[in-house]
Every structure is written in structure tokens, then in C-alpha cells.
């Protein structure tokens, strides 16, 4: 065992990167679920975002344009879900699963000519002297702009849900769409916007994997992150700060177990490998003492006639 082989600064910087796709995808889903819609298509929207972002970044040479395209791609795919569930009132669970299947297949088709291509690199934000601060510099001030955007979005969503009228309306629609409708709010329109926001966030998360974390395009490369994001929303009891904590916890333990393995720690590898899931479940159980429950209208379809 040689724990000195682990560089704590690189480890922390590494898990911030590993957690970012989860933060984006889970945050988007949180807003969607707050509006009373359950979209199980996160994985599909992420992978579409991954390829849209990758292709655009390669073609234009600009990673930032790539991220913009990823958000547009994810939102566009989510519109399909919005149409199915909000207009034709299809079942949300089935539509979400179909969205995932469709996204995985369609992205494979789109990505055929991008296998093995190296994407342009997104530079780190230049913080000037801040970067040279010992310890804090390499951990906090040596990342790309998208990572900071993820953090900023958590703050923004939290503030929006808690302090603004728009947040109140969104929550009202999620808790009781009939009451919100009676008050004159356009339930379908609000939900569609929430679904699009969720799609855009999932797309950004997917592109973060294909452009920064890996960086390459491979079919099916999100490999289940979308499902973990879905679980994370429940684990966070629909609260943005807990979601951030959960994502860092999950990303951190995942990175830690790889680091410990590399350093040859004597804990059996099986326990290390399953620890991210176990600890996340444990925290979930502990936090379930909390009264906050799912939005009351979650997963229920709305029609003005009902």
C-alpha cells in the first residue's frame, strides 16, 4: 500500500469533473419533476447531447458552440417527449423509456463518422493569480467554464424555486395541476418549458462527457449516468443543494475507489467498487426521515377537461 501515490489535489479536481455530468442531468430532471412530470428519458437526451456537442465542436472547432448545440439537441429531443405526454397524453413512464431507446439508437447513427476523432479542447478559465494559490488554486481555479456553469446553475435553480414567482408557479403546477389551472396558469405550457430545460441540461451533461471527461465519441458512452441522475433526484428529495452534495458524494467515492485501487489498498476491491452505490443508498435512508416528499402531481397527466 502506498497512499502517498494519491495526489489529493488531483483527486479533488478529478471528482469535480466526474460529478459535473451528473449535476447537469440531475438538475434538469429536478426541475422537470418539480413541474410534475417524470421523464425517464434522461439517458437518451444525454447521449444525444453528447453527439450533438461533439459533432458541432469538431466541425466548428469551438467547444463552446458544441455545448450550445448539445443543449439545443437535448431540448429538441425532449420536445418529442413533451409532445407525447403533454399533447397526446401518452403515459410518461413508457414515453420516457422510449425516448432513451430512441436517443441511444439515433445518436449511434449520427455519430458514425465521428468515431476516433479528437475534439478541440476547452481551455481552462484564466483566473490569473488565483490559480497560483496553494491547494485552493489547483482544486477550485483550474477548470473549464462549463464546470463553473454547472455550479452556478444549481444556485440559480435553487434561488428560482425558492424566491421567485416563476418558481412558485412551477411548484404549484407540480403539486396540483388542477388548482394551478383553476388559477389561470397554463399547465401544459409551463410543463413543456420545464421539460425543455431538463432536455437542455441533460444535453449539456452528455456533452461534458464526450468533450471533456473522456474526450471522444463512442456509441452508448453515457453508460447509465442518466439513470444515476434520476436516482439522485429522489435521493436529494428534490432539493438542489442536496443534489449537489449527492453528485459530489457519488463522483468523489467513485474516484476515491479507483485511487485506492491504484495505490494498492488492502480493502477488497469488490467493496470499493460497490461503495458509491451503497453509501448513496445509506445516505438516502438517513435523509428519508425528512418530510419532503415528491411533488404531488408527479407522473400524472393533465388535461384541462378533467
Partner 1 sequence: MKLSTLLASAALALGLAGGAYADAHGKTKVGFVFVGPVGDGGWTYEHNQGRLAVEAEFGDKVETVFVESVAEGPDSERVMTQMALDGADLIFTTSFGYMDPTINVAAKFPDVKFEHATGYKRADNVSTYSARFYEGRAIQGHIAGKMTKSNIIGYIGSFPIPEVIRGINSAYIHAKKVNPDVEFKIVWAYTWFDPAKEADAAKVLIEQGADVVLQHTDSTAPQAAAQEAGNVITFGQASDMAQYAPMPRVSSIIDDWAPYYIARTKAVMDGTWTSTDTWDGIGPGMVGIGEISDAVPADVKEEALALKASIADGSYHPFTGPLKKQDGSDFLAEGETADDGTLAGMNFYVEGITGDIPN
Q: What is the DSSP letter of 265?
A: -
- Give the span between the Cα atoms of 272 and 34, in whole angstroms: 34
Supply the minimum distance, in Å, between the C-beta of residue 48 and partner 1: 15
Nearer to partner 1 (CB atom), residue 47 or residue 244: 47
CB of 182 to partner 1, least distance (A): 25
Report helix, strand or coil for 214.
coil
Least separation in angstroms between residue 191's CB and partner 1 is 19
Q: What residues pair up with 124 in beta bridges, in sequence order?
A: 144
Q: Nearest 5°: phi and psi at 144?
A: -85, 165
Closest CB to partner 1 among 158 and 248?
248
User: Where on the chain is the footprint of partner 1 (CB under 8 A)?
Assistant: 5-7, 10-11, 14, 18, 21, 91, 93-94, 97-98, 101, 108, 111-112, 115-118, 209, 213-216, 218-225, 254-255, 258-259, 261-264, 266, 268-270, 273
C-alpha cell at 95: 414515453
- Smallest distance, partner 1 to C-beta of residue 224, A: 7
Residue closer to partner 1 by CB (options 18, 161) is: 18
Question: Could you tell me if 37 and 85 are in contact, meaning their C-beta atoms sit under 8 angstroms apart?
Answer: yes
Q: Which is nearer to partner 1, 11 or 185 (CB)?
A: 11
Q: Give the phi and the psi of residue 124 in degrees, each rounded to 5.
A: -70, 150
Nearer to partner 1, 137 or 220 (CB): 220
- Please state the closest distance from residue 209 (CB atom) to partner 1, in A: 5
Long-range contacts of 110-114 (CB under 8 A, 24+ apart): 110/48, 110/51, 110/52, 110/55, 111/51, 111/54, 111/55, 111/217, 111/219, 114/51, 114/54, 114/55, 114/58, 114/217
What are the beta bridge partners of residue 270?
A: none
Query: With respect to partner 1, which residue has the nearer C-beta, 39 or 240?
Result: 39
Shortest reach from residue 269's CB to partner 1, in Å:
4
Amino acid at each position: 500500500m502506498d497512499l502517498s501515490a494519491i495526489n489529493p489535489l488531483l483527486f479533488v479536481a478529478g471528482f469535480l469533473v466526474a460529478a459535473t455530468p451528473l449535476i447537469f442531468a440531475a438538475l434538469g430532471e429536478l426541475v422537470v419533476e418539480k413541474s410534475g412530470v417524470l421523464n425517464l428519458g434522461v439517458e437518451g437526451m444525454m447521449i444525444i447531447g453528447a453527439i450533438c456537442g461533439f459533432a458541432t465542436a469538431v466541425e466548428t472547432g469551438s467547444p463552446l458552440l458544441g455545448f450550445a448545440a448539445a443543449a439545443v439537441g437535448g431540448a429538441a429531443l425532449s420536445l418529442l417527449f413533451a409532445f407525447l405526454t403533454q399533447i397526446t397524453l401518452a403515459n410518461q413512464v413508457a414515453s420516457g423509456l422510449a425516448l432513451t431507446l430512441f436517443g441511444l439508437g439515433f445518436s449511434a447513427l449520427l455519430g458514425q463518422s465521428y468515431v476516433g476523432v479528437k475534439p478541440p479542447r476547452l481551455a481552462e478559465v484564466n483566473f490569473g493569480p488565483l490559480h497560483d494559490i496553494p491547494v485552493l488554486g489547483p482544486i477550485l481555479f483550474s477548470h473549464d467554464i462549463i464546470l463553473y456553469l454547472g455550479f452556478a446553475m444549481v444556485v440559480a435553480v435553487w434561488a428560482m424555486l425558492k424566491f421567485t414567482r416563476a418558481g412558485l408557479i412551477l411548484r404549484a403546477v407540480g403539486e396540483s395541476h388542477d388548482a394551478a389551472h383553476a388559477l389561470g396558469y397554463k399547465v401544459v405550457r409551463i410543463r413543456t418549458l420545464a421539460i425543455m430545460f431538463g432536455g437542455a441540461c441533460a444535453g449539456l451533461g452528455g456533452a461534458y462527457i464526450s468533450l471533456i471527461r473522456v474526450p471522444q465519441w463512442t456509441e452508448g458512452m453515457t453508460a447509465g449516468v442518466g439513470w444515476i441522475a434520476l436516482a439522485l433526484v429522489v435521493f436529494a428529495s428534490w432539493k438542489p443543494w442536496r443534489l449537489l452534495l449527492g453528485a459530489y458524494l457519488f463522483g468523489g467515492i467513485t474516484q476515491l475507489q479507483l485511487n485506492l485501487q491504484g495505490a494498492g489498498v488492502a480493502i477488497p476491491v469488490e467493496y470499493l467498487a460497490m461503495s458509491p452505490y451503497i453509501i448513496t443508498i445509506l445516505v438516502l435512508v438517513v435523509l428519508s426521515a425528512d418530510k419532503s416528499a415528491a411533488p404531488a402531481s408527479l407522473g400524472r397527466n393533465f388535461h384541462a377537461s378533467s
